[in-house]
Amino acid sequence: MAEPISSPARWFLSRRESATFSTVFLILLAFGFNLELRTALRRVPMTDLGVYVCGAGAVRDGQDLYRIVDWRDWHYNYPPAMAILMRPLAHPVPVPPPVLPAGIARTAKNTPWGYLIDAPGNYYGLKPDNLRFFLIVAAWYVISVGLTFLSAHTLACAVERRRWQEPPPSEIKPRQRWWALRVIPILICITSIGTDFSRGQVDLVMLAAISLAIYFASRKSGLLAGIFLSVPACIKVFPALILWYPVWRRHLRMIFGMGVGLTLLLAVLPVVVLGPKRTVEYYQTFITVLVKPGLGAGADASRAQELTNMGATDNQSLLATIHRWSYPPDQRPLNATPAERLSSQVVGGLLLLGWSFIAGWRRTDSPRQLALLLGTLMGITLVLSPVAHNYYFLLLMPLITGLVDEALALRGHGARDWTIITSLSAFMVIDILARLPGIGRWLRELGLPLLTMVGLICLGGLIIYRSHRTRDDGDQSPLDVAHAIPIILPAAILSPTPSRINPLSSL
């Protein structure tokens, strides 16, 4: 076993750490200012946050949650729980601008904030009609930053077997490791996290819930772990696959907690707030407009342009990637074919089968194995989901934390695992480049963000499998070239051929 790390009796920061914290604070402050310029201070806010806060406003004011739209004509496309929980940040559902007679231009006098006018410029300024949204954006940004640090800290505490309130050690090398285990995963996911900040999305809530589930599971608090593990599936449906972990591990307390969480968030909370009749109606609508079309089984097209069409978003799911590989950019159908859906489901099913085999039939895992198992399962979830935006990749932080912990453990024994270092570096670089103009679109066309994610999944699975065959004490040898073959194979199998795609034609 690794030697325990001594800790001081209180939290303190060195001068260098204080200077670093001050710099990070200023960067976050500047980012927040720019965020307000892009959202509340803009005539038409560039954010997804309006979907959630206007949905919360619909819940508060008794309007139809799935029929209202925000300023950009976007719908609320999630289970009711998140809209209910965001009621403290509720914003009134915007009233569409009046229809003007022919020849009358839209101006600031006849068009409310949130809608385009026939005049140059997008800056609106801070006025009474956008003041509440300005405060909402600021509050959600602060919450999102806090959830990011909470996620990184609780994941690190889990793999270190520490309590979350314990301060870092005072010795130099253990303290450097303490910081590295928290900072490096954030840096690797920084582009996805920054995009989530910028878009006002709620994926950091899901990440925090998964991180807390891993933390409480590492502390043998199965009930709390199960409750937190159920939260992501109640916010956005696609993370439901991670609930397979307690079932496969036969953790009865975690399964019970999972049932409690699902019942509270999906049934009790909506029934109490909305009433039984409206709750049933909402779920019927949700299944009709989103679940069935997302699975290719429904005829409702109300969300096609904003979500369910294959070209509606920057989608890095396996289904969307297969669809892109199958057609030139100017000849792609809007919807995936049954064969494409079947192919993605088969590959996803094989990945899940492989995960179950690698996880083994044992009932206990070390904290690092726990982070790797749930992290790889989250990655498989993103592969299987019909829609997987680039910024969803921040949900891989548990897997990345487990890999970083593995690399740091080897480094502590005088070894370096270049397979882990190279894989994490490639994932980070591709995730950054995929957001840039020009080359970013080319990389997304090729599906390289997906392929690097699959590489991390395979690497995590390989480490889990190896750890089951050796002593679970962190003293494991670095991966050699032969061990890297399972990481390279998925990219070789899934990579498009030149005859099927011409990425330069999409620039």
Domain extent, residue 99, equals: 22-136
Residues 391-418, mean pLDDT to the nearest whole number? 88
Which of 186-195, 237-246, 300-309 comes out lowest in average pLDDT? 300-309
* Averaged pLDDT, 173-196: 94
Q: What is the mean pLDDT of residues 364-380?
A: 93
What local confidence, expressed as pLDDT, does residue 507 receive?
Answer: 30
What is the per-residue pLDDT across 359-368, written as a single tens digit (0 to 9) for each?
988 888 899 9
- What is the tens place of the pLDDT at every residue in 65-95? 999 999 988 989 999 999 999 999 999 999 8
Instruction: Categorize the per-residue pLDDT at 99 as very low, low, confident or very high, splitting at 50, 70 and 90.
Output: confident
Mean pLDDT of the chain: 86
Indicate the range of 28-37, 43-52, 130-139, 487-496 predicted with least confidence: 487-496
Residue 109 has pLDDT above 80, yes or no: yes
Look at residue 448 and tell me if it is in a domain. yes
Mean pLDDT of 304-329: 78
User: Where is the domain boundary, 136, 155, 178?
Assistant: 136
In a domain, 75, yes or no: yes
3-state class of 65 per DSSP? coil
pLDDT band of residue 141 (cuts 50, 70, 90) is very high
DSSP state at residue 480: -
Within a domain: residue 190?
A: no
Q: How confident is the model at residue 325 (pLDDT cuts 50, 70, 90)?
A: confident
Lowest mean pLDDT segment, chosen from 190-204, 229-243, 295-309, 491-505? 491-505
The reply to whether 127 falls in a domain is yes
Report the percentage of the chain scoring pLDDT > 90. Answer: 57
| Contacts with 5 (C-beta within 8 Å, 6 or more apart), sequence order | 160, 169, 171, 174, 178
The CA distance from 195 to 272, in Å, is 34
At residue 245, does pLDDT exceed 90?
yes
Task: Give me the residues paired with residue 178 across strands.
Answer: none
Rounded to two decimals, the pTM is 0.88
> Could you give the percent of the chain with pLDDT greater than 70?
87
Q: Report the amino acid identity of residue 162.
A: R
Of 136, 161, 191, the one marking the end of a domain is 136
Q: What is the spatial distance between Cα 440 and Cα 364, in angstroms, rounded to a whole number?
A: 41
Per the structure, how many domains does the chain have?
2
* Rounded Cα gap, residues 479 and 457, in angstroms: 15
Interval 44-65 mean pLDDT: 93
411, part of any domain: yes
> Is 421 domain-assigned?
yes
Please, which pLDDT band fits residue 492 given cuts at 50, 70 and 90? very low
Residue 233 inside a domain? The answer is no
Report which of residues 297 and 488 the model is more confident about: 297
Q: Please, how many CA atoms are within 13 Å of residue 361, restricted to the half-sphere of its CB?
A: 0
Q: What is the pLDDT of residue 296?
A: 67
- Please give the average per-residue pLDDT across 451-474, as a whole number: 81
Q: For residues 417 and 437, which has the higher predicted lDDT (pLDDT)?
A: 437
95 sits in the region (left: phi over 0; alpha: psi -120 to 50; else beta) called beta
Q: How confident is the model at residue 488 (pLDDT cuts 50, 70, 90)?
A: very low
Residue 414, domain member (yes or no) = yes
Residue 479, pLDDT score? 47
Domain boundary among 119, 136, 153: 136
Window from 155-164, 257-266, 291-300 with minimum mean pLDDT: 291-300
